[in-house]
Amino acid sequence: MEPIKESTDMKLRRLGRSGLEVSALGFGCMGLSYGYGPAVDRAAGVQLIRAAVERGVTFFDTAEAYGALNEEMVGEALAPVRDRVVIATKFGFRDGHVQAGLDSRPERIRAVVEASLQRLRTDRIDLLYQHRVDPDVPMEDVAGAVKSLIAAGKVRHFGLSEAGIESIRRAHAVQPVTALQSEYSLWWREPEQALLPLLEELGIGFVPFSPLGKGFLTGAIDASTEFSKDDFRNVVPRFAPAARQANRALIDALTVIAQAQGATLAQVALAWLLAKKPWIVPIPGTTKLHRLEENLAAADVELGAADLQRIQEALAGIAIEGARYPAALAGRVGR
């Protein structure tokens, strides 16, 4: 196997006050095998993850719920550089299946970690997230189980995904939370209301997933775009054809700003997140090398105060159509 050449060009960020240092942009691996149609070929997935390493990415995000293949690709790709990267994975669904419901019992957490360590070919998980808050398991028990795994050296940092204010506070009181992962982008700005102030108060980093609006903010999706039958976006109200048509107003506004910057829409969307707080680390995902390179170049796009004001004014005049989750899944977030 060819040695992986690592870049030192990517800027680094710290997730809150935890001391966990990662590349300013991470790589969300979900789409390699889950959620957006057929899985990529295993060798191609490994190759793309290694390409990210070569371009300076040190932060990789996976989960049990994305299927064994996802963690296995991450493990195989990163084994040669394991000590120089940060691997995040997640527990929280019954038997690892989203459709089966939630399960964050301490014994289940321990079992998931053991299985993930095997698939990831490592002896520790750098950042372990609860994928969704389980209302049937007290948060103190969840945080306590992760605290024990940290004491045992199998986990380094604790994270939460899509958790609400009370859950974050309760978890943080037992085991300091290093990062919260939730959706945040130019077309989903709810975290600005209560989450960002709380994270700043507690010194918790923020890891936005879907920072490109599940692809919409690239400008490549319009009302006529057809998704494959197993693509999650088929059931998302915000991606209904009428909503897509209405939401093109955001793309039109961003296009003007991107052209003035000499950047792409995706780069402006990512640069906007990076400009919000120094402890925000977006994790865009892709299956294409040219998109990976485009995304990572966003770390060099500097948005000044005038640019941010222009974006803010554009956003204020646009109403985004459609919910971000179908009703059946909406109850799992913000608990």
130 belongs to a structural domain: yes
114 belongs to a structural domain: yes
48 belongs to a structural domain: yes
Asked if residue 272 has pLDDT above 80, the reply is yes
pLDDT band at 327 (very low <50, low <70, confident <90, very high): confident
Candidates 98, 232, 84; CA nearest to 161 is 98
pLDDT band at 1 (very low <50, low <70, confident <90, very high): low
Q: How far apart are CA 126 and CA 47, in angstroms?
A: 22
Question: pTM of the prediction?
Answer: 0.95
Residue 70 φ/ψ, nearest 5 degrees:
-65, -55
Mean confidence (pLDDT) of the chain: 94
State whether residue 18 is helix, strand or coil: coil
Q: Give the rounded percent of residues in the chain with a pLDDT score beyond 90.
A: 87
Is 325 labeled as catalytic in the residue annotation?
Answer: no
Q: Flag the least confident range among 72-81, 162-171, 281-290, 308-317.
A: 308-317
Asked if residue 2 has pLDDT above 80, the reply is no
| Domain ranges, residue 190 | 12-216+276-301
Q: How far apart are CA 314 and CA 45, in angstroms?
A: 37
Which of the two residues, 145 and 261, has the higher pLDDT score?
145
22 belongs to a structural domain: yes
251 belongs to a structural domain: no
**pLDDT at residue 230, rounded to an integer:** 86
pLDDT band at 215 (very low <50, low <70, confident <90, very high): very high
State whether residue 15 is helix, strand or coil: coil
320 belongs to a structural domain: no
Q: How far apart are CA 301 and CA 264, in angstroms?
A: 10
State whether residue 240 is helix, strand or coil: coil
**Residue 52: which CATH number?**
3.20.20.100
Of these residues, 66, 129, 184, 325, which one is catalytic?
Answer: 66
Residue range 15-50, pLDDT digits in tens? 999 999 999 999 999 999 998 888 899 999 999 999
132 belongs to a structural domain: yes
Angle subtended by helix axes 106-119 and 68-78, to nearest 10: 50
pLDDT band at 333 (very low <50, low <70, confident <90, very high): confident
Q: How far apart are CA 300 and CA 73, in angstroms?
A: 28
6 belongs to a structural domain: no
How many separate domains does the chain show?
Answer: 1
Asked if residue 298 has pLDDT above 90, the reply is yes
